[in-house]
Amino acid sequence: MTIIAAADGSALGNPGPAGWAWYVDDECWAAGGWAESTNNRGELTAVLELLRATAGTGEDLLIQADSQYVINSLTKWRHGWRGWRKADGRPVLNDDLMKEIDRELAGRDVRFEWVRGHIGHPMNEAADDRARAAAIAFQHGSAVPDGPGWTR
């Protein structure tokens, strides 16, 4: 069986209050964030937290994301990085998260699917809503809706 999940990030100001979320369904999702970060870090953290949550399932994983940056980084570019440096010799951005994701991907069957954001894709919209809610909670200093987590 393949787990299908959406992962998304949100930043209010970029950088600014930020959130991340992954979503399988209304009973299986998680979110979090920071007082200040970027959208890209939110997107990457959503993927990382989803990988961690599903690590023990033994199931294949299809991650739907609206971030070309995330998908290209993890499916194309990382295979050409040498010492976590890009082809031009500059360091890979967000290498701390990239390294953790790289470790989590090892030995797993994970596929990524790009979905256009903000056009009504139900799972992407659900992940986006939760990531934005986390960012807003940090912006207002209120409790972050963090979800039930992995419930399968």
**Which is catalytic among the residues 32, 33, 42, 43?**
43
Q: Give Rg (Cα) of the chain.
A: 15
Please, what is the average pLDDT of the chain?
Answer: 96
Predicted confidence (pLDDT) at residue 8 exceeds the cutoff of 90: yes
**Which is catalytic among the residues 26, 118, 120, 141?**
118
**Which is catalytic among the residues 32, 33, 42, 66?**
66
The residues facing 37 across adjacent strands are 16
Residue 128 annotated among the catalytic residues of the structure? yes
Residue 43 annotated among the catalytic residues of the structure? yes
Q: How far apart are CA 128 and CA 131, in angstroms?
A: 5
The angle, 0 to 180 degrees and rounded to 10, between the axes of the packed helices 68-75 and 39-53 is: 60
Q: How many CB atoms lie within 10 A of CB 131?
A: 30
Predicted confidence (pLDDT) at residue 119 exceeds the cutoff of 90: no
Residue 9 annotated among the catalytic residues of the structure? yes
Predicted confidence (pLDDT) at residue 120 exceeds the cutoff of 90: no
Q: What is the pLDDT of residue 103?
A: 96
Predicted confidence (pLDDT) at residue 117 exceeds the cutoff of 90: no
Residue 118 annotated among the catalytic residues of the structure? yes
Instruction: Find the mean pLDDT for residues 109-117.
Output: 94
Residue 25 annotated among the catalytic residues of the structure? no
**Which is catalytic among the residues 49, 104, 125, 128?**
128
Residue 129 annotated among the catalytic residues of the structure? no
- Encode pLDDT of 88-103 as tens digits: 999 999 999 999 999 9
**Which is catalytic among the residues 9, 19, 32, 147?**
9
> Which run of H or of E encompasses 44?
helix 39-53
Q: How far apart are CA 84 and CA 78, in angstroms?
A: 8
